[in-house]
């Protein structure tokens, strides 16, 4: 059974990191002492689940974690500093600290270093997450010991629900745009003014008109999707924001 170290202090190790082409040693104490840290660990950089789900969602939710008392979000993998730095760049994960556990020392002391020889990986970390306050592990979410690479409890949403049961997650917003579209500029401005983060998808760079026809009955621009629902164009978005504001005002009254 995988180790659960809740109530214990974080292992004392030194991480060999690279910054500005120089080696920089970072100790456990420097990372965890006097801070509240969410750490998630995974089998390997550039691997499918790690790149498509685990890292992006923690990076997206970093602001709401911060608003609920988390000082830093850390990603650990048994990879070297060069690989971890390149992976962070490719993921655009500027809100997450990537720590290389190249020799597996940290994972081993956590009792979560496992054999992945069947995949040609050698020794790797089991997938888990934990909340650490001033160097003491408060909560761990360890994936079950099942074949393959289970991913169901170490995700960012599970950790956030533990940290802030009544907390509100950010909206998932995507905006389909095209170059030279003034209505697209207006829609993006409305979202910026409302403090709502969004992902912009630009025609003929990120998608084609065929993609838009597949997901929407309209091919006018922009097309704003929120939480899986088509809101519409800039006017529709403005109305949606007004309704949302009125609802929030009633709730606060």
Q: Helix, strand or coil for residue 117?
A: helix
Beta-strand relationship, 128-133 and 136-142: antiparallel
CA 179, CA 237: separation in Å to the nearest integer? 19
For residue 222, cis peptide bond before it (omega within 30 degrees of 0): yes
**Catalytic residue, candidates 50, 75, 181, 184:** 50
What is each CA distance from 224 to 93, 122, 237, in whole angstroms? 24, 45, 7
Cβ–Cβ under 8 Å, residues 155 and 54: yes
Q: What residues have CB less than 8 Å from 135, skipping those under 6 apart?
A: 9, 10, 28, 29, 32, 33
Contacts of 186 (CB under 8 A, 6+ apart): 234
- Scanning the structure block, which residue is given the tokens 């009633």? 250
Residue 50 annotated in active site: yes
Q: Is 107 exposed, middle or buried (0-12, 13-18, 19+ CB in 10 A)?
A: buried
Cβ within 8 Å of residue 196, ≥6 positions away: 170, 171, 173
Are 66 and 99 within 8 A, CB to CB?
A: no
Catalytically annotated residues: 50
């Amino acid at each position: 059974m995988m180790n659960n170290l809740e109530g214990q202090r974080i292992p004392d190790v030194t991480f060999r990191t690279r910054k500005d082409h120089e080696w920089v040693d970072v100790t456990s104490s420097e990372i965890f002492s006097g801070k509240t840290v969410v750490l998630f660990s995974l089998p390997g950089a550039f691997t499918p689940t790690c790149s498509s789900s685990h890292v992006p969602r923690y990076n997206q939710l970093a602001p709401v974690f911060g608003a609920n008392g988390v000082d830093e979000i850390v990603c650990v993998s048994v990879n070297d500093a060069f690989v971890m730095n390149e992976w962070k760049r490719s993921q655009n994960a500027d809100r997450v600290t990537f720590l290389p556990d190249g020799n597996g020392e940290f994972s081993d002391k956590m009792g979560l270093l496992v054999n992945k020889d069947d995949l040609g990986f050698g020794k790797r970390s089991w997938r888990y997450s934990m909340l650490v306050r001033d160097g003491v592990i408060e909560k761990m979410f360890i994936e079950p010991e099942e074949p393959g690479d289970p991913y169901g409890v170490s995700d960012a949403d599970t950790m956030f629900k533990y940290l802030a049961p009544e907390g509100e997650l950010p909206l998932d917003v995507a905006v389909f745009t095209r170059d030279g579209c003034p209505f697209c500029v207006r829609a993006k401005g409305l979202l910026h003014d409302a403090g709502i983060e969004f992902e912009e998808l630009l025609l003929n760079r990120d998608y084609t008109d065929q993609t838009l026809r597949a997901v929407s009955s309209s091919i006018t621009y922009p097309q704003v999707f929120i939480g899986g629902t088509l809101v519409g164009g800039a006017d529709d978005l403005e109305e949606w924001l007004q309704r949302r504001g009125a609802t929030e005002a009633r709730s606060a009254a």
